With several copies, the nearest count.
Chain A
């Protein structure tokens, strides 16, 4: 899981009138997590993906603070302050889990051994650039955590995000104005309105949330989208 900033969480907290809820975005993303994948989930909505992965698929969760095979939340008896995830929340370890140190953990990430990472976003560009760690505000305490390592190393990067900021500004832009987390790293965006693939030809809108039209999405996106809804 990566440390995304509190700012981004605040921006994402208010659901829009139409479109998918936070739970539904996580649920939609979970459909694309394949059986047998090694997956790292960012803090916030991405964390929820785990509970919606379809039954019958076995997925191994990596947390960058040194655990492969992260399980669900602990019961009161299971709780151990030495067993936490990258968001510093108590977790459990499944049978078949493994502990390792930070050097080895980020070797897994940087060495392209992890299949999928799901993260939040402040901004995503047409080319798949991601900004999710800093607004660049001069008085902010900069904090990056493992986000830059994850986007540089994990094979597939999925983004779950509200389509616009809470003030209605577009988050999908020709260029990110916030400092980048990584350049050309995003593969797919799950917003509350739609699913978008980042391709060499541009941003491909492949799926719309119920009652949401292509034009509705396009009006809230600063990049010309390609309509690929079947």
Chain B
């Protein structure tokens, strides 16, 4: 029997090890799996490489994971947002490494990681500092840079609905990086707002098929990042 449900966020993140690469879904607060991130803080794995578009807000969620000293390196496109102060401080003091990747290249590298494509060529960043040190090549008279796939040991994502096979739907723009991260990680951990029965999600409307999902925890009323930031909440 296939039943990917687990009973707690703590159980879901239990196997994350020091030094692992962890993809975390979300674009800003939309799709950020706060409960799973907080479980990872409680769990304490260190020296992580984290892949996320941003670096979190305030002192909760991803920002708190960074502040807690668990992240050795960030791979992201935009590590600077209105309420982010944790990452900039650590970065300036040389305590965290940054691999800056254009957002579309980040998405395509993750997708490639999940699709069994080790490398591909893209026009993005040609002629800019972010192409320095990368192989370039001309196809049909246009210049492209070669980019490598990114894979992860774990992905932490947030879904709207999930069934026990791991089929997922998402809510609006909270979808963002989650489907491709689910493909690129060896272990995909999902917090879903709602568990549904097999067949409740029309097979035509499944966004992430269960084959890309390993463990699911129902978090019926997830916390809202912007609300926590506004209230000045600090985790843990």
Contact = CB atoms under 8 A, between A and B. Distances in A.
Indicate whether A and B are direct neighbours in the complex (CB within 8 Å). yes
Given A60-B211, A153-B116, A93 B172 contact: yes
Interface residues of A, number: 65
Interface string A99-110: 111111111111
B127 A182 contact: yes
A29 B107 CA distance: 30
Nearest to A133: B128
A143 B79 contact: yes
B115 A67 contact: no
Nearest to A106: B104
A84 B98 CA distance: 26
Interface string A51-82: 00000101010111111110000000000111
B173 A66 contact: yes
Given A69-B203, A82-B31, A145-B78, A183 B176 contact: no
Contacts of B173: 63, 65-67, 82-85, 99
A180 B127 contact: yes
Given A103-B180, A143-B78, A95 B115 contact: no
Interface residues of B, number: 74
A196 B106 CA distance: 33
Contact of B116 (A96, A99, A104, A111): A111
Nearest to B98: A142
A141 B183 CA distance: 30
Contact of A81 (B30, B77, B122, B163): B30
Interface of B: 1-2, 27-31, 53, 77-82, 87-88, 91-92, 98, 100-108, 110-111, 113-117, 122-130, 163-165, 167, 170-180, 183, 197-199, 203-204, 206-207, 209-212, 224-226
17 contacts: A67-B173, A69-B203, A82-B30, A88-B27, A88-B29, A95-B198, A99-B204, A106-B108, A113-B212, A142-B100, A143-B77, A144-B102, A148-B102, A148-B104, A152-B126, A181-B128, A183-B127
